[in-house]
Amino acid sequence: MLIQITTLILILSIIVPFGAYFVMGRKNGKSMLVTNIITFFGVMLVATGCLFSGNVGFAAGEAAEAAGEVAAAVSTGDGMRYLAAALVTGLATIGAGIAVASASSAALGAISEDPKIMGKSLIFVALSEGIALYGLLVTFMILD
């Protein structure tokens, strides 16, 4: 039952913003953005509810029972661990993208004025890319 509800919600989260796009047209960008945000957070609320229900590994458990093996119980703590790893990876990558965008555009502007400072400006771009690597390291530590 939970699989069907989750599948239905994920399908609706794709259909509703596209439906709003075709119904409202390209003129009303704010309404489309609000529709997309509401749909996204609705899916997040349902996914969080599934995490706290204690049935995180229901698909793996059913597959193991069908194969005749003893199903390993997946606790809510494991689900929260996977959620934390996903958030760390995603937010670190978004932060690194914002940092690289601003650092590289400033570096290109500086290089166009004085080509001798290319090495110095690339250091700042590389430092901002390090944010994503630190997020990936923290993800590995969470999952270990």
**What integer pLDDT is reported at residue 51 of this predicted model?**
67
**What integer pLDDT is reported at residue 68 of this predicted model?**
56
- What total of structural domains would you count in the chain? 2
CA nearest to 106, candidates 117, 95, 92, 93: 117
Domain end marker among 20, 46, 74: 74
Q: Are residues 37 and 89 in the same domain?
A: no
Q: Are residues 20 and 59 in the same domain?
A: yes
Q: Are residues 64 and 110 in the same domain?
A: no
**What integer pLDDT is reported at residue 105 of this predicted model?**
92
**What integer pLDDT is reported at residue 89 of this predicted model?**
93
Q: Are residues 111 and 130 in the same domain?
A: yes
Q: Which CATH number characterizes residue 112's domain? A: 1.20.20.10
At position 10, the amino acid (one-letter code) is L
Give the range of the structural domain holding residue 57, as residue numbers without chain letter. Answer: 1-74
Cα angle vertex 65, ends 81, 82, to 5°? 10
Domain end marker among 52, 74, 96: 74
- Which regions of the chain are under pLDDT 70? 1-3, 24-29, 51, 53-74
Q: Are residues 15 and 62 in the same domain?
A: yes
Residue recorded with tokens 């509810």: 49
Q: Are residues 4 and 69 in the same domain?
A: yes
**What integer pLDDT is reported at residue 10 of this predicted model?**
75
Distance separating alpha carbons of residues 127 and 129, to the nearest angstrom: 5
Q: Are residues 91 and 68 in the same domain?
A: no
Round to the nearest angstrom and report the end-to-end CA distance of the chain: 32
Six-digit token pair at 54? 């204690």
pLDDT digits (tens, 9 = 90+) for 114-139: 999 999 888 988 998 999 999 999 99
**What integer pLDDT is reported at residue 23 of this predicted model?**
75
H-only helix segments in 2-117: 2-24, 29-52, 58-66, 76-113
Six-digit token pair at 22? 């075709």
